[in-house]
Amino acid sequence: MSGASRRLPRLLARPGSSAPGIAPLLLLLLWPLLPPLRAAASCPCQDPALCQPIRNRPNFEVFVFDVGGKTWKSYDWSQITTVALFGKYDSELMCYAHSKGARVVLKGDVSLKDIINPHFRTSWIAQQVNLAKTQYMDGINIDIEQEVTCPSPEYDALTALVKETTDSFHREIEGSQVTFDVAWSPKCIDRRCYNYTGIADACDFLFVMSYDEQSQVWSECIAAANAPYNQTITAYDDYIKMGLNPKKLVMGLPWYGYDYICLTLSKDHVCTIAKVPFRGAPCSDAAGRQVPYKIIMKQVNSSLSGILWDENQKSPYYNYKDSAGRFHQVWYDNPKSISLKRAYVQTWGLRGIGMWNANCLDYSGDAVAKQQTEEMWEALKPKL
């Protein structure tokens, strides 16, 4: 998902999938190699009706990534329409989400080299559908952040994978949803060149990761906003100009920021950063460290600068000094910067909004934190 996956180890594929639904002959041949077939799991929810897939079609998506733990109990369920489980499967979460009419979807990640083989695609998709069924889930979010060049066999195979995944899920699980994660701009960001229109047509919608926008910095190596307003919005115009229907786009916002160590920090708050190349660019946000909003909120009041606002990027930031005496600059998003982007979602009639990730807020119940957390959820709502 976020740039986190570029630097942090990816989560291991969830274990325990049962035999893929392949042809009986093949099944027989593979029989000795397969894990024992799971007995049809019984519904873990108190009310068995909650194991039914969600069929409603919300007018507006609020697409939430969850990375594990139990903070989900404090999310604003009056807004959520889909939760993508990027942590461990949690049946309690599934039952609860269903009781709120929200879909719960799998994480889909696969090696691009493998999917060139159509047989591999078929069996991978069968496994995902099977996993979703045994866990009473409502679809899959495909998150592939590997390099793709155009033209290449991977480029076409990826479009085919999305189409075949959508066809299978829609056929096998009523009301199910298949979505695909794309970078903040359709201009081959991080050397991920996709058939954007082909993929958008092939699935329910795209989750646009409007963050990590400094992953490839071609100009000056200075700290800058994770999701500068103008750059973010211009990229949606680019998607729409390519022919994508705005109803195929969900805007993904960051609930985390970047903490950079400044090599130099000028009086007017220009922070120069170390040159850390990424996929061809001389510097990148990999020079910084991702920090969740809850940590930022704990630190900002004791910072050197207090909250500053950059009018060009329409983003908050602050400077602080660490215990070793080094200056840092932290760029993040808050209700003010999020509301500005939210207004665009409304004006252009996008499919919805979402964030990486819902766990980033402080759900401890502490009075100040509670208020700040509520304001972040509030910022997702349309303004009249």
Ligand X SMILES: *[C@@H]1O[C@H](CO)[C@@H](O)[C@H](O)[C@H]1NC(C)=O
**Which residues belong to the active site?**
145
Residue number, nearest CB to ligand X: 198
Question: Which residues, 6 or more positions from 254, have their beta carbon under 8 angstroms from its beta carbon?
Answer: 2, 210, 211, 212, 226, 227, 332, 333, 355, 356
> Under the criterion CB under 6 A, does residue 149 sit at the interface with ligand X?
no
Q: Closer to ligand X at the Cβ: 266 or 301?
A: 301
Instruction: Quote the least distance from Cβ 196 to ligand X, whole Å.
Output: 8
Classify burial at 200, counting beta carbons within 10 Å of its beta carbon; exposed 0-12, middle 13-18, buried 19 or more. buried
Strands 352-356 and 289-292: unpaired
- Least CB distance to ligand X at residue 271 (A): 20
Report the C-alpha dihedral over residues 233, 239, 244, 247, rounded to 10 degrees: -30
- Sign for the CA dihedral angle at 219, 318, 344, 207 comes to positive
Least distance CB 301 / ligand X (angstroms) = 4
Nearer to ligand X, 29 or 368 (CB): 368
Q: Which is nearer to ligand X, 149 or 301 (by Cβ)?
A: 301
Using CB under 6 A, which of 27, 73, 368, 382 touches ligand X? 368
Among 349, 374, 222, 355, CA closest to 297: 374
Give the contacts of 311 (CB within 8 A, at least 6 positions apart): none
- 3-state secondary structure at position 330: strand
Q: Which is nearer to ligand X, 27 or 368 (CB)?
A: 368
Count how many Cα atoms sit within 13 Å of the Cα of residue 339 in the half-sphere of its side chain: 10
One residue of 82, 135, 177, 195 binding ligand X per CB under 6 A = 195
Instruction: Name which of 66 and 181 has its Cβ closer to ligand X.
Output: 181
What's the closest the beta carbon of residue 198 comes to ligand X, in angstroms?
2
As measured in angstroms, the least distance from the Cβ of 250 to ligand X is 21
Residue 326: other Cβ atoms inside 10 A: 12
Binding ligand X (rule: CB under 6 A), the pick from 56, 117, 234, 364 is 234
Cα distances (angstroms) measured from residue 132 to each of 176, 241, 267, 359: 10, 35, 54, 23
Q: Out of 21, 175, 198, 292, which residue is the one contacting ligand X (CB under 6 A)?
A: 198
Least distance from C-beta 197 to ligand X, angstroms? Answer: 6
- Give yes or no for a contact between 299 and 330, defined as CB atoms under 8 angstroms apart: yes
230 binds ligand X (CB under 6 A): yes
Cis before 245? omega within 30: no
State the binding string over 158-177 for ligand X (x if CB under 6 A, else -): -x------------------
Total residues contacting ligand X by CB under 6 A comes to: 7
Least distance (Å) between residue 239 CB and ligand X: 14
User: What single DSSP character describes residue 274?
Assistant: -
DSSP-based three-state secondary structure for 307 = coil
Q: Which of residues 47 and 167 has its CB atom nearest to ligand X in the complex?
A: 167
b/e sequence 29-40, b meaning 16+ C-beta within 10 Å: eeeeeeeeeeee
Minimum CB distance to ligand X smaller for 21 or for 292 = 292
Tokens at 176, concatenated? 């199910």
CB of 236 closer than 8 Å to CB of 200: no
Contact pick of 117, 264, 301, 346 for ligand X (by CB under 6 A): 301
Residue type at position 268? D
Three-class SS of residue 108? strand
Does 337 participate in binding ligand X (rule CB under 6 A)? Answer: no
CB of 231: closest distance to ligand X in angstroms? 7
Q: Which residues bind ligand X (CB under 6 A)?
A: 159, 195, 198, 230, 234, 301, 368
